Structure 1
Amino acid sequence: MADLHVTPAGDRIAHDTRGECVCGPTQTPVPTDDGTVRFLAVHHSPDGREYGAG
Structure 2
Amino acid sequence: MEVNPKEALKEIEKIIALTPAKKMDEWLDAYRQYEKETKEPITLFEWILLKNKNA
TM-score, scaled relative to structure 1: 0.25
The structure in which a higher percent of residues are strand is 1
TM-score (norm 2): 0.24
Q: In proportion to residue count, which structure has more helix?
A: 2
Largest Rg, 1 or 2: 1
